[in-house]
Amino acid sequence: MSPISQLLAGPLADQILEPAMAEGGGLGPVFGWLVGTGTGAGIGLLFVITGLMVAMVKFKEDEHGRFTPESVWRAWKDWDFGQKREPSTWLTLLARRMLNRLDG
């Protein structure tokens, strides 16, 4: 994990998700069936969301472990960055680096 994620995870879970997942909180009725409500449900929800995000990144990997960009940021639409159907070395480097950090 990067230092910024370590700095953000605690306050996000304690001050935003934990109150929202408490009894009568805004997210309790929505995600309570998944992680429960009350103490610890906020960090549980953060864990589930993080796991889903990692699964989405892994799903985009091809059989050789490469990543292909599917779209370009809207501000750069006028410039040609090559074919979007070919794996991107830069995107693969960024995604593999993030996944390696998560693996430990």
pTM: 0.73
Question: Taking 60 as the threshold, does the pLDDT of residue 50 lie above it?
Answer: yes
32 vs 85 pLDDT, higher one: 32
Question: Any idea which of 16-20, 24-28, 56-60, 84-88 has the lowest mean pLDDT?
Answer: 84-88
Using one digit for the tens of pLDDT, what is the confidence trace for 53-71? 999 989 988 889 888 877 6
Q: Which two tokens stand for residue 21?
A: 């997942």
Strand ranges (E), 1-104: none
8 Å CB contact between 36 and 51? no
> What value does the mean pLDDT take over residues 37-44?
93
